[in-house]
Amino acid sequence: MSIVNIRNIQLLNNPARFDDEYQFRITFECVEGLEEDIEWKLLYVGDAKSEEYDQELDSCMVGPVPIGVNSFDFTCAPPQPSLLPSTSSEEILGVTVLILTASYRDKEFVRVGYYVNTEYEDEARRAEPPAVVDFTGLIRNVLVEKPRVTRFNNPWDSELKSNPWGSNAGDASGQAQGGNVGSEMAGGSGSMQDLDVGGKDLLLDSPLPPPVVAAVAGATSAAADVDMA
């Protein structure tokens, strides 16, 4: 049983310019007291063919987390063009993936993935894009209506106390609830389901990509703490 369940995720500035910050408002429910903070991360997939260009845009620690429904704002920097695989319009324009993850005691228990479409705001350049991309003229549109969500088994505080030797259930490299972890979102062959965010239960089970590796060289994302007290 998951102790923390996401109830709603809003992207407050969508569509937006490519170099605008991402402004999320996340609402989640905690059904049991937690001794540690929850870590949230936002990841940008720079190249579906290689994890080398994945960027961790930002992270934050949220806590202490009281029992009940909680909400916080999560503002993240945009992707750094210098860490992307190419400046070619052919490589930059089109669809990529944005992934929001949540972890407790360094173990990921949920991830929410979105497709992101990048194109020129100007119709003329949209029809005939220049060979070298002009990042200042780009806009992004996150497909917030169609998230892909996966929950992972995680040993919460009560389980750790009853089983101090740990549990294999917290291993994110194993099976996620709802099916195989791999998916076409990261170039895999797993199937995914569209989720209806208009209902009360956002957090449904559907396969998502395995954990991605954030680009380290030149990274400038700064961690921040969110005090829920």
Average pLDDT over residues 99-117: 96
Domains, the chain, with CATH or none: 4-219 (2.60.40.1490)
Per-residue pLDDT tens over the stretch 130-142: 999 999 999 999 9
CA nearest to 52, candidates 184, 187, 214, 182: 214
pLDDT band at 2 (very low <50, low <70, confident <90, very high): confident
Q: Provide the pLDDT for residue 7.
A: 95
* Per-residue pLDDT tens digits for 20-59: 999 999 999 999 989 999 999 999 999 888 889 999 999 9
Q: Which residue is it, tokens 């990042």? A: 135
Of all residues in the chain, the percent with pLDDT exceeding 70 is: 69
Asked if the peptide bond before residue 209 counts as cis, ω within 30 degrees of 0, the response is no
Model pLDDT, residue 165: 53
- 81: alpha, beta or left, given left = phi > 0 and alpha = psi -120 to 50? alpha
Mean model confidence pLDDT for the chain: 77
Q: Each residue of 145-187: pLDDT tens digit? A: 999 999 999 889 876 666 655 544 434 333 444 332 233 344 3
DSSP string, 155-184: --HHHHHH-TT--GGG-TTSPBBTB-S--G
**Which residue is associated with the tokens 């993850």?**
101
pLDDT (tens digit per residue) in 191-225: 233 333 333 333 333 333 333 333 333 333 333 45
Position 66 scores a pLDDT of 93
Confidence of residue 67 (pLDDT cuts 50, 70, 90): very high
Would you give the distance in Å from CA 173 to the centre of its chain?
17
